[in-house]
Amino acid sequence: MKHIVSGIQPTGSLNLGTYLGSIKNFVKLQDTYTDHHFLLFIADLHAITIPREKAFLRKTIKELSALYLAAGLKKERLSLFIQSEIEAHSQMAYLLQCFTYMGELERMTQFKEKAQKQEKGVTAGLFTYPSLMAGDILLYDAEYVPVGDDQKQHLELTRDLAERVNNRFDDFFTVPKPLIPEVGARIMSLTEPNKKMSKSDENVKSRILLLDDENIIRKRIMSAVTDSDQTIRFDKENKPGISNLMTIMSAITNQSIETIEASYKDATYQTFKQSVADVVVNELAPIKARYNALINSKELDAFLDEGAEYARKIAMKKVMKFNHKIGLGRKRK
């Protein structure tokens, strides 16, 4: 079975950027890649590369699991699981660290950005994070990895590691290809549209959370920072705020940017923002309703158990094979 693999960190309530750059894209891809099995997981091992409170982790892991399903992913051809429940992820991470060069990790933009923000010191886990991520993907011989723009560099490293191992140990891993959505791969902050919308931004007005109330969503969009030119035209450089709102509308409705431009040719920013708010509210309302029904259900736990079982079998086999391949342990007769 061919695999598509991706993960999201449980590091805060899911925001519209992560939703459009990943989950919404997975939903679309399930209809396109009908001969692939989807392995999607909650990357909780990644989350502890920065110190987190236990109660916070527990809550966000559960919330994110429910949101994956509430967002409309079909249960057929899908295994949803929690990364730490599959021991092979930690094992593979260690093995791959021994194939990763310090220089490669030092070059990672996300590491540099995140390290700078740490006040109490930078953990070794934050540094070796890309090797853990490579393991997540290579364990399942993923053919495709759907991610947003900010994960490109990690994917490149994963491909380099796969090729490095393949050169030494005759084509052991599938070299994965990134699948980056054409629209929505980088949703920007609503208050500083030159910055990515992020779970960790101190300014809550910069983002929309999937579970936000309708009036908050409307307020955030109506007060989104735009320019003073009043024409609805896509121009990331000179009109980042309005371009971001157009991207949000396009990623949700599947209308092209050109169609949106034409439809709102004579509209004011106020009218356009109202339409964007309507589109976002209509998209998120059913997700929220399904989330509320799922969050404390047995159905969710049962689905996560099933997903873990499917993933564990493949992952354990691959990591044991890798141990063996590189000469660890005893040779079996």
Residues labelled as active-site residues: 114, 196, 199
Q: Tell me the CA distances in angstroms from 84 to 81, 133, 193, 308, one per residue in order.
A: 9, 13, 34, 10
Stretch that binds ligand TYM, among 16-24, 98-106, 111-119, 307-315 (CB under 6 A): 16-24
Return the number of the residue (194 or 271) whose C-beta is nearest ligand TYM.
194
For ligand TYM, the binding residue among 4, 29, 43, 64 (CB under 6 A) is 43
For ligand TYM, the binding residue among 4, 39, 165, 185 (CB under 6 A) is 185
Return the number of the residue (143 or 150) whose C-beta is nearest ligand TYM.
150
For ligand TYM, the binding residue among 67, 137, 138, 157 (CB under 6 A) is 137
Stretch that binds ligand TYM, among 66-74, 131-139, 272-280, 316-324 (CB under 6 A): 131-139
139 to 158: interface string for ligand TYM, x by CB under 6 A:
------x-xx-xx-------
Tokens, residue 224: 């989104």
For ligand TYM, the binding residue among 186, 218, 239, 273 (CB under 6 A) is 186
Q: Tell me the CA distances in angstroms from 217 to 29, 209, 266, one per residue in order.
A: 27, 8, 25
DSSP state of 177: E
Structural contact between residues 281 and 222, judged by C-beta atoms closer than 8 angstroms: no
Return the number of the residue (18 or 100) whose C-beta is nearest ligand TYM.
18
Q: How far apart are CA 237 and CA 243, in angstroms?
A: 9
Q: The tokens 């052991």 sit on which residue?
A: 172
Q: How far apart are CA 156 and CA 325, in angstroms?
A: 24
Picking from 158, 153, 181, the residue whose alpha carbon sits closest to that of residue 24 is 181
Q: Is 88 in the site for ligand TYM (CB under 6 A)?
A: no
Picking from 137, 141, 1, 24, the residue whose alpha carbon sits closest to that of residue 77 is 1
Interacting residues with ligand TYM (CB under 6 A): 5-9, 17-18, 20-22, 43, 46, 133, 136-137, 145, 147-148, 150-151, 185-187, 196-197
